[in-house]
Structure 1
Amino acid sequence: MTATAALHLDGVSLAFGGHRALDALSLTLAPGEVYALLGPNGAGKTTTINLILGFLAPDSGAIAVDGVDAVADPLAARARTAYLPETVMLHPALTAIENLRYFTLLAGRRIDAARARALLTDAGLQGEAHGRRAGGFSKGMRQKVGVAIALAKEARLLLLDEPTSGLDASAANDLSTTIRAASARGIAVLMTTHDLFRVHDVAGRLGILRDGRLIDERATASLDPAALERLYLAALAA
């Protein structure tokens, strides 16, 4: 029996005022797959994320998250999705544990402090930070709490929007470890990024968007870092 796709986009198009932001985008992610969506600013990457989250409705095409129609029932699809924006917003006066329990409760689930600690550890947050207030957290620490929230709500799809922007090398490496851990749990990961090194490090497949169209798609293992850079630059120049 074939597993239900974690994410399926079929011929998704959307125009704003005559400008086609997405043009017949089709994309499928299997459970546990890490997929990198590349492209210049304005290519349609953020529009794609907003469509998956149900913040926009397509003009045509279908979107499904874990088998749920994200157009007809965006709330149910969103319940299966975790989204980490470029800056993860946490309540600054609450600790990591309290933030995790709070946001998990908003998602309709209740966890105790021991479970929260275990999830934060799984997401890569060091134990000494579990009881600290989030107001002093770095971007990388905030991301780890965000991943713990995704684990707590048992999301089937994790959306990452420019996750390495503003991270130092150590924090970016930690993020790669966290993405692999989510993938190992069967969570599919769709990341939009300009960070080609991170793409080669964690993604199994990549797609290149240009002017709303998916112009290339490759298995990352088929490219060494230099070939990946050449492919990306050629796509931007086309």
Structure 2
Amino acid sequence: MREATLPGAVLTIRGATKRFEGRTVLDGLDLSLDAGEVYALLGPNGAGKTTTINLILGFLRADAGEVRVCGIDPGTAPVAARAQAAYIPEQVALYPGHSGVENLRYLATLAGLRLSADAARLRLDEAGLAREAQDRPASGYSKGMRQKVGIAVALARRARLLLLDEPTSGLDPAASAEFSRTVRAAASRGTAVLMATHDLYRVREMADRVGVLRAGRLVEELDPRRLDAVALERLTLARLAGEAAP
């Protein structure tokens, strides 16, 4: 059952097409995401996941179709669109000699926000970073801890859309499960979450919907909670191979 959400579509993509040197990377992509919803975009390397994120952030413009972030066209108003979104890459870069609190305060400053140390700790609490880690140098942080600082930045900015790129890659099972809880907590506060991932196992507990992307086309959209892990894997692999559902 989905948590309470805020009304309105945060992300809308209609018929988005993108070509590079005559090669179609996205082919008429349709995708929408509401406040408080977690959407997992599954697909192999080259399927178009990164291109989709770059369109949303305004680093690329669609050759056809439209992209809207909170009603804003990132192709024509990229700064305004990015103000509504927060992007967390697979590897979050932090200043190694600074603590989690110091990193968060600095990164918030770059976004035009002023956070007190106490306010920074509250955001890190919400992102799931343990109090005893918040004042330690980030040089000793694991990937999962770095991601939590990234999510704390999104929470501090009150970003309406959170973009995650392979968020569970390289995490051990315990850290991956904890990250799943962190993502669901962010969604429960009304943040829309779009994650590009290969992790079939974790999407069942994180995502409200799963989109299977193959060769730039959304070939299937699923409710992962209606399928057990084996059925989800079989169906997804079949779609990625271009086969009919088993």
> Partners of 2:79 and 2:167 in 1: how far apart?
24
Letter in 2 for 1:60: A
SS at match of 1:24: strand
Ranges in structure 2 where 5+ consecutive residues have no aligned partner: 1-5
Partner of residue 182 from structure 1, selected from 176, 183, 186? 186
Q: Does 1:64 align with 2:68?
A: yes
Equivalent residue, structure 1, for 2:233: 229
Q: Does 1:120 align with 2:124?
A: yes
Letter in 2 for 1:153: R
**8 Å contact from structure 2 (residues 212, 240) kept in 1:** no
> Partners of 2:186 and 2:70 in 1: how far apart?
16
> Partners of 1:88 and 1:31 in 2: how far apart?
24
Percent identity over paired residues: 58
- Give how far 1:108 is off: 1.1
Q: TM-score, normalised by structure 2?
A: 0.94
SS at match of 2:9: coil
> Partners of 2:135 and 2:225 in 1: how far apart?
40
**8 Å contact from structure 1 (residues 125, 144) kept in 2:** yes
> Equivalences for 1:143-158 in 2 at 5 Å?
143-158=147-162
Ranges in structure 1 where 5+ consecutive residues have no aligned partner: none
> Partners of 2:187 and 2:123 in 1: how far apart?
15
Partner of residue 141 from structure 1, selected from 135, 141, 145? 145
- Give how far 1:222 is off: 2.1
Q: Does 1:24 align with 2:50?
A: no
Equivalent residue, structure 2, for 1:170: 174
Equivalent residue, structure 2, for 1:195: 199
- Give how far 1:197 is off: 1.0
Partner of residue 110 from structure 1, selected from 114, 126, 130? 114
- Give how far 1:44 is off: 0.4
SS at match of 1:111: coil
SS at match of 2:237: helix
> Equivalences for 1:14-93 in 2 at 5 Å?
14-93=18-97
> Partners of 1:3 and 1:184 in 2: how far apart?
13
Q: TM-score, normalised by structure 1?
A: 0.97
Runs of 4+ deviating beyond 2 Å: none
- Give how far 1:4 is off: 2.8
Equivalent residue, structure 1, for 2:3: none
SS at match of 2:32: strand
Letter in 1 for 2:76: A
Partner of residue 218 from structure 1, selected from 215, 219, 222? 222
> Partners of 1:137 and 1:167 in 2: how far apart?
13
What RMSD, in angstroms, separates the aligned Cα atoms of the two structures? 1.0
